[in-house]
Structure 1
Amino acid sequence: MSKEALQQAIDRIAAGTHTDQDLELYNNWCNAAQEQQSPMPADFPDRQQQMLQNIESRIKGKSYRKLIIWSGVAAAAAVLILYMSGGFFSVNISSKQPSMPYNILATEKGQQRHITLPDGTNVWLNAASHLKYPASFASTTERRVELTGEAYFEVAKDKEKPFIVQSRDQEVKVLGTHFNISSYSDDPLVQTTLLEGSVKVNNQITLEPGEQTLLDDAGKLTIRKADTAMAVSWKKGNLEFRNENIYGIMRKISRFHDIQVIYEGHIPMDGMNGNFALRQSIPEILEIIQTTSLLRCRQEGRKIYISKF
């Protein structure tokens, strides 16, 4: 690309009159700059904040699927967010220190994604989740990723570089194994379930296959036997639960359907057992819940009202 074309694209981004093509051009320049340490335009640092504001305004309210984040471009940290469904980018430039580029894979409600990380590790990401990981593990001494939400990992073995998953107040360290972590911010517990191999949770508990740790908001870590098939049922498009109250059940359902749940009066906390297909319609799910004779459910548009039977 020519310097003139790049400068014109930056001018339009800073003025708020840019097109998707301008953003794509800028993204290509950042990718090239990351690899070649290309110099940035002279007036670029002075215009960074205005560019960020204009692009954020443009993409506000847009749904995203994958975010690609680069840092260390021309001795300044440039962050690009790629909106795969609409081709939108966001730019955030703030740091003066070069650092490693990293990616973020994100899912919306109702979405699930699979990705193979640079080391060969396979990750299945559940709905309303995101995973941050380096663009390459080549220059690292460990393979560290960050998870919000839920994911299932099949970690590629590398004895020289432990694989570490950082989530809500928790670190899980492995060399090569299969496990599931559920770490949604609105759940009372972070659950780590081991299917194969061995993992260490917060340097306190080493799990064996068929075991699960529970971490509460107070930092208390406990271990129990797990139903591994139930823990990863979401990978097969199902929601299985055992002895779970309605609040926990509806939180999970809400991650796959655009609904608002409203509880009326005293709600029984009895545990329920069940199995839904995640793609079942809300009326079908509510009808099943009502067969327990514990709760009444009614739907008004997006709103779901739940009361004692």
Structure 2
Amino acid sequence: MINKYILQKYFSGLCDAEEHSRVVNFLANEQSDLAALHELLEEEAAHAQEEVLPVTLEKELHKGVYRYIFINGVLVRRLWQTVAAAAVLLPVLFAWHLFSKKADFKNLAKVKANTHLDEGWKVLLNKGNENQKATMPDGTQIWLMAHSSIQYQPHLYGKHLREIKLEGEAFFDVATDAQHPFIVRHGVISTQVLGTSFNIEAYDNEGAIRIALVSGKVMVKRTGDSLEAAGLKTLSAGQLLSYRKKDNSYRVKPLVIKDEAVWKQGNIVFNDIPLKDALTRLRKKYDITIEAPDHIDMSNMRVTAVFKSGNAEQVLQNLLFIHNLHFRKHKNVFTIF
């Protein structure tokens, strides 16, 4: 059965192959009841009546309409058969806008079908190799690092809380709003702020979550704690908290890299992280293979550095040089020695 939730995923580009096929067949069938589609659009319209379409998003919408016409052609032809020609683009444009709006998502891709999606949450995935910027409805700016994603609830964001889920890494410049706390949930802990600049590293495959506070104050809590809970630690500007997932312990130390511009300008920033984790991030960012022989002990090697995001070989060379290591390259495989 095709319901509103499946249609919502379809317009957002979040359906898996099986769901996509079902929706296309549904829309192509002359006997299909389009009540669910109309109901979905009416519900979404109720939340969008007072919103103004930003110029940057309007340009993206034109691209979206083009995609629906030529990639999801069955959808457009089906709508053309069921509504007046002059109104065909309206529901398509409107639906695309409804499931893309509430934040300026320029240059950010829709989440892949195999990415975990909580019902009612919108997802943004930066699947490119360069940092990308999103601006939330309250003016909060988020710089998403390569292959990182955020989720938020469009109809609830800013009503009581400003809540975001993060997978990967992002730098936040939070708009001040004492009445609506800004909360970033990342794994087993969360970060609560009122207005500040900070970076969070919350990669699933790494053993620690790191919170680097550039300005203001943040409270770090365990996920699930209430707003009134005391929390694990309140950080002040210039501090770095590293939370170990293995034993739920944490440590706080002075932040070495304190200039927020290094994140905003798209640099690769390593703030006291294990060399192994740094190499893993480069593998993912540049889609390369990095091999390290077992006899090279990296257990005590850590990295604090800023690199310009450019040539993979140059970045890797500079990164390894810190620990007197080198590499040999064969095709797309880098072997450390």
Fold shared, TM-score > 0.5 on shorter chain: yes
Could you state the TM-score of these two structures normalised by the residue count of structure 2?
0.60
Please state whether the residue corresponding to 1:120 is helix, strand or coil: coil
Give the letter for the 2:331 counterpart: G
Match of 2:124 in 1: 105
For 1:14, give the aligned amino acid.
R
- Tell whether the 8 Å contact from 1:118 to 1:137 is kept in structure 2 after alignment: no
2:309 to 278, 284, 288: 278
The alignment partner of 1:229 has SS state of: coil
What whole-Å deviation, never above 9, does each CA across 1:222-253 have from its counterpart, x for those lacking one? 21111233787343233354765531331232
Match of 2:224 in 1: none
Listed as ranges, the matches of 1:208-287 within 5 Å are: 208-217=236-245, 218-229=247-258, 233-241=262-270, 245-269=274-298, 270-271=301-302, 274-279=305-310, 281-287=311-317
Alignment RMSD, CA only? 4.2
Aligned residues: 248
Post-superposition offset of 1:121: 1.2
Larger displacement relative to structure 2 (292-301 or 258-267): 292-301
* Of 272, 291, 297, the match for 2:327: 297
**More helix, by proportion:** 2
- Name the SS for the 2:146 alignment partner: coil
The 3-state SS of whatever aligns with 2:183 is strand
Looking at structure 2, the residues matched to 89 and 19 of structure 1 have their Cα atoms a distance apart, in angstroms, of 22
Contact 2:111 2:124 in 1 (8 A): no
1:181 touches 1:192 (CA, 8 Å); kept in 2? yes
**Greater strand percent: which structure?**
1
Q: Does 1:167 align with 2:167?
A: no
| Aligned AA (1:260) | T
* Alignment match, 1:117: 136
CA distance in 2, matches of 1:196, 1:256: 28
Displacement after TM superposition at 1:157 (Å): 1.9
Task: Tell me which amino acid in the other structure corresponds to 1:34.
Answer: E
Does the CA contact (< 8 Å) of 1:213 and 1:224 recur in 2? yes
Q: Does 1:205 align with 2:241?
A: no
Q: CA deviation at 1:106?
A: 0.6
Q: 1:14 aligned to 2:22?
A: yes
Answering whether residue 176 of structure 2 is matched by residue 157 of structure 1, we say: yes
Equivalent position amino acid for 2:287 in 1: D
C-alpha distance in 2 between matches for 1:199 and 1:107:
25
Q: Which position in structure 1 is the counterpart of 2:76? A: none
TM-score (norm 1): 0.65
State which of 23, 28, 32 in structure 1 corresponds to 2:41: 32
Q: Deviations over 1:4-50 (max 9, x none)?
A: xx9xx9xx942866999xxxx9998575143368xxxxxxxxxxxxx
Q: Point out the more displaced range, 151-160 or 192-201.
A: 151-160
Q: Retained in 2: the 8 A contact 1:230–1:241?
A: no
For 1:132, which of 146, 151, 166 is the aligned residue? 151
Q: Which amino acid aligns with 1:277?
A: K
* Structure 1 runs not aligned, ≥5 long: 1-5, 38-54, 56-66, 71-81
Cα distance in structure 2, aligned partners of 1:288 and 1:34: 53
Q: How far did 1:206 drift?
A: 0.6
What residue identity is the alignment partner of 2:255? A
Post-superposition shift, 1:220? 0.8
State the distance in 1 between where 2:111 and 2:124 align: 15
Aligned partner of 2:201 in structure 1 is 182
Greater shift in the superposed pair: 205-214 or 270-279 = 270-279
Flag structure 2 segments of 5+ consecutive residues without an equivalent. 1-6, 11-19, 29-33, 47-71, 73-95, 100-104, 222-230
Task: Provide the C-alpha distance between the structure 1 equivalents of 2:112 and 2:279, rounded to a whole number of angstroms.
Answer: 34
Q: What's the CA shift string for 1:71-103, capped at 9, x where partnerless?
A: xxxxxxxxxxx9x8999997xxxx9xxx8x532
